[in-house]
């Protein structure tokens, strides 16, 4: 048994509410950078989630969507998105026999604030030989089913010990893991497996950059690679694999896993942002 799904698909735990063509950010979409005195902006998790929703919808409108599997999600966070209505657009760049590519953009006040791309490949291709494969990295077991997180902020944490919902227990320099039960992205909608794993891909920075004084590096991008998509309604975890920093720039990588094992990885490029660190 694994950690249970937190919350219900309603406005109390969603990132956005749909209002015609606009998406209105709700309380849970607010960024934690700088605490109560920080910028009034949308967190990267919500940006990634809503763009993945748009890209996946565009891909699903193509012929035979079940033949293709999402394998890479790339997000560029090049402008802060204010806590104000946004719109998303998605365009099919390529729709071939074995490869499909969809671009998505988040717009606010008439200008783009983030962009993303979704790469899908056809499954079931021919193969006959044997190829070397690296051993899979070790990952922690998902949290136990009886550990129920707060529906309003359902993340669970692990650092050199047991899973817990209390961030204060993990303000250390130990290797981190995080777990994210499914929470709604848009009020009244159940998120797909792709939308959920794309949303929490932004948490690779939390998992890899969280130290004794909180998260002092902010990510400008993320690249998620997948061999499979988690089941709809299933939780997803991150496990820190590596991190290198020099002169205020760092990159971090995490292994992405679910209750069935490893399913992908995330790499993030980050900038020092210690004066507005996300703290416990």
Q: What pLDDT is stored for residue 34 in this prediction?
A: 57
195: confidence class by pLDDT, cuts 50, 70, 90: very high
Dihedral, 70, 76, 77, 79 alpha carbons, nearest 10: -130
Output phi, psi for 172, to 5 deg: -150, 180
- Band of residue 12 on the pLDDT scale cut at 50, 70, 90: low
| Stronger pLDDT, 193 or 126, i.e. the higher one | 193
Asked, for residue 91, whether it belongs to a domain, the answer is no
Q: Mean pLDDT over all residues of the chain?
A: 91
Residue 28 lies in a domain: yes
Classify residue 134: in a domain, yes or no: no
- Contact present, 29 and 171 (Cβ < 8 Å): no
Determine the pLDDT at residue 63. 96
- Is 184 among the domain residues? yes
pLDDT at 1: 32
Question: 37-41, 67-71, 209-213, 261-265 — which is least confidently predicted?
Answer: 37-41
Which H or E element spans position 106? strand 99-108
Q: Each residue of 95-115: pLDDT tens digit? A: 999 999 999 999 999 999 999
Percent above pLDDT 70 for the chain: 93
Summarize pLDDT for 122-154 with one digit per residue, the tens: 999 888 899 998 887 788 899 998 887 887 788
Q: Which two tokens stand for residue 80?
A: 């802060």
Q: Is position 22 within any domain?
A: yes
φ/ψ (deg, to 5) at 129: -85, -175
pLDDT for residue 8: 39
**Angstrom distance (rounded) from CA 280 to CA 215:** 9
Handedness of CA 32, 37, 42, 48 (dihedral sign): negative
Which residue range forms the structural domain that includes residue 23?
A: 16-64+80-85+147-276
Residue % of the chain over a pLDDT of 90:
79
111 vs 10 pLDDT, higher one: 111
Residue 171 lies in a domain: yes
111 lies in some domain: no
Task: Report the C-alpha gap between 238 and 112 in whole angstroms.
Answer: 29
pLDDT digits over 216-275, tens only?
A: 999 999 999 999 999 999 999 999 999 999 999 999 999 999 999 999 999 999 999 988
- 23-47 pLDDT, tens digit per residue, is 999 999 999 885 554 568 999 999 9
More confident residue, 1 or 106: 106
Total domains in the fold of the chain = 1
For the domain that residue 161 is a member of, what is the CATH number? 3.10.129.10
Q: Is residue 175 one of the residues assigned to a domain?
A: yes
199 versus 10: the higher-pLDDT residue is 199
């Amino acid at each position: 048994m694994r950690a249970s799904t937190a919350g219900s698909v309603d406005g109390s735990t969603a990132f956005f509410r749909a209002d015609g063509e606009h998406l209105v950010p709700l309380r849970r979409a607010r960024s934690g950078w700088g605490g109560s005195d920080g910028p009034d902006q949308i967190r990267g998790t919500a940006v990634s989630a809503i763009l993945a929703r748009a890209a996946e919808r565009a891909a699903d409108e193509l012929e035979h969507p079940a033949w293709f599997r999402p394998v890479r999600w790339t997000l560029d966070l090049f402008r802060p998105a204010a806590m104000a209505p946004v719109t998303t657009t998605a365009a099919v760049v390529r729709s071939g026999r074995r490869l499909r590519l969809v671009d998505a953009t988040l717009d606010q006040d008439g200008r783009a604030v983030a962009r993303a791309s979704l790469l899908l490949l056809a499954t079931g291709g021919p193969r006959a030989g044997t190829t070397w494969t690296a051993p899979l990295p070790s990952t922690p077991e998902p949290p136990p089913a009886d550990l129920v997180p707060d529906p309003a902020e359902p993340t669970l944490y692990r650092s050199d010990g047991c899973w817990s919902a209390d961030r204060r227990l993990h303000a250390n320099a130990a290797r981190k893991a995080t777990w994210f039960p499914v929470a709604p992205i848009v009020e009244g909608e159940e998120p797909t497996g792709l939308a959920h794993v794309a949303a929490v891909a932004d948490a690779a920075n939390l998992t890899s950059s969280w130290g004794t004084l909180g998260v002092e590096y902010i990510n400008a991008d993320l690249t998620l690679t997948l061999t499979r998509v988690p089941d709809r309604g299933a939780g997803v975890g991150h496990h820190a694999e590596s991190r290198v920093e020099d002169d205020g720039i760092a990159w971090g990588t995490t292994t992405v896993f679910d209750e069935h094992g490893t399913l992908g990885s995330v790499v993030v490029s980050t900038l020092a942002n210690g004066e507005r660190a996300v703290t416990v």
